[in-house]
Structure 1
Amino acid sequence: MLLVWHLLMWQLEQVHQVPGTVVSMPKKGDLTDPGNYRGITLLSVLYKFYTSVLNQRLIKFAEGEQQEQQQQTQA
């Protein structure tokens, strides 16, 4: 399942698009003023899950590389 999602994200990355829904969220102030809203993109849960897993793996990799560098400089 994760591999299928990875392949889908890779294809979407080629065209720099990830499907999402844009909703208008009001800022403080007059709600009748159209300039008082900002667009927020709601992404799918699967995309958030995929990026979370990818982030965790990158953190583990980076921490391992950092420890390896520290050991080499201490030797």
Structure 2
Amino acid sequence: MARQLVTARIKPERACFLVGLPKSTWHYRPKRRQDGELRRHIRELALLHPRRGYRFIHALLLQEGHHLNRKKVRRIW
């Protein structure tokens, strides 16, 4: 809705105000994730241990020397 107002020559800040969005929502640019290598490695471990879950995979990653949070492994899982 805000995009339509901007194309109708209304300033983005005013359009966000009229729609009820924060201005930061209009200016937000998502960051690309840099975890492609980690995803590939988790898939390899999952293929080696098909009956295990993300907690076991997290423990294997810790043993290999990766320092990451279990919640991140679960999100990727």
Kindly indicate whether structure 1 or structure 2 has the higher relative contact order, using CA contacts under 8 Å at least 6 residues apart: 1
Structure 1 or 2: more strand by fraction:
1
Taking structure 2 as the reference length, the TM-score comes to: 0.29
TM-score (norm 1): 0.30
